[in-house]
Amino acid sequence: MLESEYTHLIFPERLIPILLDERGADWQRLVRDTLERSPDSVEQVAFILLVARLSGCATCHANALRALRGCAICAKQSVGRFRGSDQELVALHKQSCKEVEGFWSAGNNHSRR
């Protein structure tokens, strides 16, 4: 049975804190910096995009083992198992920030005021 309380369509912002201790100092700094931002900031949206890509949120569905276990477990495993360095994750986050900024500047964010 799908646990809707624990599984979402994309990695939820409320779970960012659980990823803090999954990697080293650079990653922890990124998570802390992200948590200091507002939920609608480029940095936080880009972080969610990064984790969603690492975790494969786009291909998750109700019958997937990932969905059955929940977003928290899936994201922790995905971040912890990333084969690159923390610096690579920080660079991927910077790239995600650029993508979000580009998307928003193109007028594709209807919820932004």
Residue 110 in this model has a pLDDT that exceeds 70: no
Question: How does 35-50 read in b/e, with b if 16+ C-beta sit within 10 Å?
Answer: eeeeeeebbbbbbbbb
Asked, for residue 17, whether it belongs to a domain, the answer is yes
Average pLDDT, integer, range 97-101: 97
Asked, for residue 65, whether it belongs to a domain, the answer is yes
Average pLDDT, integer, range 63-92: 91
Asked, for residue 95, whether it belongs to a domain, the answer is yes
pTM of the entire structure? 0.86
- How many domains is the chain partitioned into structurally? 1
Asked, for residue 113, whether it belongs to a domain, the answer is no
> Where in the sequence is the domain holding 57, given as residue range(s)?
13-101
Tell me the torsion sign for CA atoms 51, 56, 57, 60. Answer: negative
Asked, for residue 106, whether it belongs to a domain, the answer is no
Asked, for residue 111, whether it belongs to a domain, the answer is no
Q: Are 23 and 79 in contact (CB under 8 A)?
A: yes
pLDDT in tens, 18-61: 999 999 999 999 999 999 999 999 999 999 999 999 999 888 88
